[in-house]
Structure 1
Amino acid sequence: MDAFYHRFSELFAQIGLSREPADIRAFIEKNSPLSAEVRLEDAPFWSAAQATLLREKLQDDADWSEVVDQLNAALRAMHN
């Protein structure tokens, strides 16, 4: 199986959000920090379709899991 590296911007496009760097930063700043008790895919700011897509990426697609983990970490960090 070939491994692929996916960019953060590609994940945002997959979940139907802007892939522009400024928009990604704004989204993360607006929705951070995500509580440790909340799973990434259960965060209240996702639509049902976005949450499902994230679940699928984490469960079924190793190619995407690294970038989803990066998103998870970014949303749990404190931003100024």
Structure 2
Amino acid sequence: MFDQQPTLELLFEQLGLDASADAINQFIDTHQLTSDVPLHKAPFWSKAQHDFIISNWKKDDEWSLVVDQLNEQLHTENKLSGSCHL
């Protein structure tokens, strides 16, 4: 079982992405989404990444807080209003 408190770094590891601070910042800077594109429908996710995001967002557990954090950060340039719905 997964015993650590989820963080953005651990989320990136779970998604198979580079979890260094620089890589996370670069990913966020280069993968901004428009307000009409929900996080889970972003075109850059693989099926496995998409499924991980959906699964953990729906659980409304500690992981969902980190997924929400990523959602907010990927929508900063477009100032997403309200939450992203599944």
Could you say which TM-score interval applies, normalised by the shorter chain? 0.7 to 0.9
TM-score (norm 2): 0.80
Superposed structure 1 runs of 4+ greater than 2 Å apart: none
Task: Give 5+ residue unaligned stretches, structure 2.
Answer: 78-86
Cα deviation code 1:15-65 (max 9, x no counterpart):
110110000001111101x11111101100111110011000101251201
TM-score normalised per structure 1: 0.86
- Structure with the bigger percentage of helix: 1
The corresponding residue for 2:82 is: none
Counterpart in the other structure of 1:30:
30
Query: Which residue is 1:8 aligned to?
Result: 8
The amino acid across from 1:15 in the alignment is L
SS at match of 2:19: coil
Structure 1 unaligned runs (5+)? none
Count of matched residue pairs: 74
Q: State the match for 1:71 in structure 2.
A: 70
- How far apart, CA to CA, are the structure 2 residues paired with 1:13 and 1:52? 15
